Amino acid sequence: MQVEAYAGEEMVLNMGPQHPSTHGVLRLELETDGEIVRNVIPHIGYLHRCFEKHAENIDYPGVIPFCDRMDYIASMNNSLGYALAVEKLMGLEVNERVKTLRVLMAELNRIASHLLSIGTYAMDIGSFTPFLHCFREREKVLDLFEWLCGARLLYNYNWVGGVSHDIPEGFEAKTREFMTQFEPVIAEMDKLLSYNKIFLERTADVGIISEEQALSHNVTGPNLRGSGIAWDLRKEEPYCGYETYEFEVPVGLGEHGPLGSCWDRYYVRIREMEQSLGLIRQALDRLPEGDVHEHIPRRVRPAKSEVYDRTETPRGELGYYLVSDGGLIPFRVKVKSPCFTVLSLLPAIAKGGMVADIIAIIGSIDIVMGEIDR
């Protein structure tokens, strides 16, 4: 038997599930040697709410509110994926107005979600002010949503075959107003945080996800693009008519240190908000007439079949695998979570870093425990 070389005394530090910056209820088991982290073991499951079992016991439209509750930061995008999957299962085609509204809301929600991610990231790095600036802006998006459908966080907006509410009168003008005042805020964030020397020091050389690692661990979304791979489902497999919009896919450039660092991932999100603004503007410009309830089926009863459909949420590629046995209730709903796959990479990139780096990495991969545990 070979005895491993004695590496010094290591302390096991339990970080979470109640910890200010594990973004919910993630629990990390850290083996620390002083400030240096020798090993990280993530433990998940503290927010398990039986989404998949629930979905097997409720009719198709009834699953939508549960979808909202998975990634509660980006509910619009979550329910959109599910609605699209069911529509694909039924062979349902929605009208143009519904498609445009879905794009509009998904992008607004993407901005809100990225704002939260950036804000909490700033707080993780120790800067409190950008956090509140981000939340102030996010609040305005939530106000719009509240006006639209009455809810601020869990909207139940994307229905099978349509959306729950058409936009109220004056919504368009208010959204444009929000955009004009929000655009300078992005530049302000650049000044306050993105190019701050200390912020760069903390993030630009930390948590490198190489291209290879990103692909092998199925990292998606901004995390993948932060590693320099321009893969966005809105471009690659367009849905809701994304192919007719003009937008770019921002990728990490490795301007400040190695490619795929925390800073690259962070900065991709900032740039994505700009692209989302462009998408919202285009959606508002074209908004066709139509009835948003036109194609909502009386009864959702897909034929016996199965379908896999994936969409680009703010956190990456969210896939729904639906199996229908021809009844009113889904036989199986399986979710492919983007946060789960990226979290699986955490031990690989966090080893050998410092305790403070762990926080920087968790913040930069932007996980939502609700979606990982479901």
Report the interface residues with other proteins, using CB under 8 A.
11, 13-14, 19-21, 35, 122-129, 132-133, 136, 192-193, 196, 198-199, 201-202, 354-357, 359
Closest CA to 115 of 168, 193, 167, 45: 193
Q: Is the peptide bond before 17 cis (omega within 30 degrees of 0)?
A: yes
Helix or strand holding residue 59 (H, E)? none
Q: Which residue has the tokens 């699986």?
A: 344
* Sign of CA pseudo-dihedral 152, 162, 61, 78: negative
The rounded distance, in Å, linking the Cα atoms of 70 and 311 is: 15
3-class DSSP state of 165: coil
The rounded distance, in Å, linking the Cα atoms of 197 and 300 is: 55
Closest CA to 355 of 37, 81, 102, 10: 37
The rounded distance, in Å, linking the Cα atoms of 91 and 68 is: 23
Q: 152 Cβ partners below 8 Å, 6+ apart? A: 142, 143, 145, 146
Please give the single-letter amino acid code of residue 285: D
CA separation, residue 117 to residues 52, 133, 275, 296, 348 (Å): 26, 12, 17, 34, 22
Q: Is residue 111 within 8 Å of residue 276, measured between CB atoms?
A: yes
* Sign of CA pseudo-dihedral 250, 251, 253, 256: positive
Task: Calculate Rg over the CA atoms of the chain.
Answer: 21
Tokens of 183: 């655009």
Q: 222 Cβ partners below 8 Å, 6+ apart? A: 114, 265, 268, 269, 272, 314, 315, 316, 366
The rounded distance, in Å, linking the Cα atoms of 371 and 367 is: 8
